[in-house]
Amino acid sequence: MPGRVNSLYPPKSSGRPSKIAVVGAGAVGTAVAYACAMRGDARTIVLQDINKAKVEAEALDMAHGIQFTPCGSVEGSDDVEIVRGSDLVIVTAGAKQKPGQSRLELAGSTVELMKKIVPNLQNVAPDAIFMFITNPVDVVTYVALKLTGLPRNQVFGSGTVLDTSRLRYLVSRETGVATQNIHAYIAGEHGDSEVALWSSAEIGNVPLEHWGPTLGGKPFDIGLRKRIAQDVVESAYKIIEGKGATNYAIGLAASNIAGAVLRDENRVLTVSSLLEDWEGISDVCMAAPTIVGRSGAGRVLNPPLTLNERDGLTASATRLRQVARDLGF
């Protein structure tokens, strides 16, 4: 169109440059904001946190490096007004997970925090897509959906996007194939009851069961698959024990999701959204392969499942639903 200015940044529907707000300036929130800035996921990135000195310092530190990124500006404030007009709000604020503590054990204190902050965020950014990273992310996403009354596409969690990346990394280590060519998913809870969907896993276009031996000459049998799946579950605990938090990989995962939304990529990602009659599962938020684009969480795909995988997902849903019920949702 004549007179139209091309932009490096994903546009709003109005044609104006887009804006991402990251709520929480802890280890995860700052990693998310930094990854989004480095990838140029939006022209404007803002950080919001109740700790005024920290959030302003974190934002200023990033802003000083703006010339080395595709991003236009980074700002920080303790005032929720900085979130106003955001296209995507990424919520990372929550109780810190302690070594040995499960994600579901965080539920009570985190849900109370969500009751305080979510209405304020919705007030200043009612049309935004809301993505939750705060653990336990599936329960938090369900609670946020109930608190806001927004449609399911507009409120979703990061789900098992990171777990899926961990799974592909471990399969890559065993086979020597680039992680980008490993096609395998983790579904269910982002936590101990998650399920590796081995039956639909492929390397390139070769089903995993037909791959043959690993780099070490061992068969990619059920024993190896179980060990890899367990390593995925336990990896966060190992990192938290060693450094106190996981932040780099989830920052990259969140940026990947943000790009899918704001660039309308319609990518298949295992985000956590409200499921209704998906493989017999309803009224729960948990991860499943989902098409993610500018409208948020779209169609949930139905991959082929074994009976064991289906039973595992049903058990995972039951576990999450019970936690939500115990919290009054």
Residues 144 and 151: their CA atoms lie apart, in Å, by 11
Contacts of 6 (CB under 8 A, 6+ apart): none
Helix axis angle for 137-148 and 307-326, nearest 10°, is 60
Nearest alpha carbon to residue 85 among 116, 115, 123 = 123
Q: Which residues are catalytic?
A: 190
Decide if 69 contacts 9 (C-beta within 8 A): no
Environment class of 181 (CB within 10 Å of its CB; exposed 0-12, middle 13-18, buried 19+): middle
Environment class of 2 (CB within 10 Å of its CB; exposed 0-12, middle 13-18, buried 19+): exposed
Decide if 84 contacts 77 (C-beta within 8 A): no
HSE toward the beta carbon, residue 20, CA cutoff 13 A: 35
Could you give the angle at the alpha carbon of 140 between the alpha carbons of 193 and 152, nearest 5°?
100
Environment class of 326 (CB within 10 Å of its CB; exposed 0-12, middle 13-18, buried 19+): exposed
Return the C-alpha torsion angle 174, 177, 183, 188, nearest 10: 30
Preceding amide of 11 cis, omega within 30: no
